[in-house]
Amino acid sequence: MKVRKCLKHSSEPNVPNGSPNSCTLRQQKSKQTDRHRIVLRPRSSKFVEIFRTTPINTVCPNFYVLSHANGCGFVPHCTYCYLKSSFWHLNGQHVFNNRDKMLKEIRGWIRLDDLESYVLNAGNLSDSLSFEIYRPLIADLVEVFRQEAKGRPHTLLLVTKGGLKEARVLLRLKPCDNIAVSFSVNNPVAAATHEAGAATVEDRLEAARRLKKKGWRIRMRIDPIILGFDYGWITRQVKALKPERVTLGTLRAEHNLGRFVKTPILRALEKCSDLKSLARYPLKTRLKMYRDGIRILGTTCPVGLCEETYDVWHNVGLDIESNPCNCGG
């Protein structure tokens, strides 16, 4: 298959070269499409590196990151996405195609003992499944973990907002005990508004159901919980799935996200004076959101909170020491 360096999701507007506005229109269109362009290229730096918690006073387990891509293949991107501020300088979504080097690093990581974490997160800098049509990778990852990690604690974590289309490669493969698939879901109306490029919530749930029935390890994330939407229905749907763990998270933002994200939903967040902290909803609001979800989930499975503070964990009665987060072992 011939691979092009750049693949655009849309074409240039049909504007005559001699038109007075042709240059302006092309520039505007270029700015709109550049961030959605898929750039296939080799990665020169490491693929596997440790990631340690950045926000202060936050419960977040350290884990290893698999940097298979920088960006996301879902268009349009989620309105609140932190990757918009993380990769503002890139000329598109960079997908790394030197797979042999990547897989060699992963095999080397699996052979290591006494690690700080045994979780390799493929969904921290990118959706884990959204680039399969540009650079097939998942089948190779599954085979590496099936062969190299059997009987060892090393776990590949796939995190996605994809549905049946994105999960089809996994549905064709035999499950691997060393791989967990985590679906991020939301209130359906919130998802249609703020996650329009991703699969519908119903599609994500169906993909999770089919993978679980097939024997795959399934984790679920209800994140971000956004003020003004009801989360009773989606929480009950997640409970019915009986995943191995559930993570709840409320809308939050790093200090510079507002420069790159214009969605009004960020206005309800309280800014923090410390640049290393996150803007969040008021404490009372977050506590109610979490308690509502925890009450519905009951004892179905371990429940954790995403990037939350120690006082909130204690206030809602969750056990920090058991490490029940999505990215935990």
Q: How far apart are the first and last CA of the chain?
A: 38
Q: Tell me if 41 is assigned to some domain.
A: yes
Rounded to whole angstroms, the Cα distance separating 38 from 55 reads 30
Q: How many domains does the chain have?
A: 1
Q: Tell me if 105 is assigned to some domain.
A: yes
Report H helices in the chain.
22-34, 83-86, 99-110, 138-148, 164-171, 188-194, 201-214, 232-241, 283-297, 310-315
179 is in which domain, residue-wise?
35-315
Q: Tell me if 5 is assigned to some domain.
A: no
Q: What is the pTM of this model?
A: 0.88
What does the pLDDT read at residue 221? 98
What does the pLDDT read at residue 329? 82
SS3 142: helix
Parallel, antiparallel, or unpaired: how do β-strands 155-160 and 119-121 relate?
A: parallel
What does the pLDDT read at residue 54? 66
What does the pLDDT read at residue 286? 98
Rounded to whole angstroms, the Cα distance separating 286 from 44 reads 41
Q: Tell me if 17 is assigned to some domain.
A: no
Q: Tell me if 50 is assigned to some domain.
A: yes
SS3 94: strand
Parallel, antiparallel, or unpaired: how do β-strands 245-250 and 252-253 relate?
A: unpaired
CATH for 270: 3.80.30.30
Q: Tell me if 9 is assigned to some domain.
A: no
Number of Cβ atoms within 10 Å of the Cβ of 107:
14
Rounded to whole angstroms, the Cα distance separating 283 from 299 reads 24
What does the pLDDT read at residue 4? 41
Rounded to whole angstroms, the Cα distance separating 84 from 71 reads 8
What does the pLDDT read at residue 88? 66
Q: Tell me if 28 is assigned to some domain.
A: no
What does the pLDDT read at residue 7? 43
Q: Tell me if 3 is assigned to some domain.
A: no
Per-residue pLDDT of the chain (329 residues; tens, 9 = 90+): 333 454 433 333 333 333 333 333 333 344 445 667 999 999 999 999 999 876 778 898 899 999 999 999 999 999 998 777 666 677 889 999 999 999 999 999 999 999 999 999 999 999 999 999 999 999 999 999 999 999 999 999 999 999 999 999 999 999 999 999 999 999 999 999 999 999 999 999 999 999 999 999 999 999 999 999 999 999 999 999 999 999 999 999 887 776 778 889 999 999 887 877 899 999 999 999 999 999 999 999 999 999 999 999 999 999 999 889 999 98
By the 10 Å C-beta count (0-12 exposed, 13-18 middle, 19+ buried), 46 is classed as exposed
- Residue pair 47/101 in contact (Cβ under 8 Å)? The answer is yes
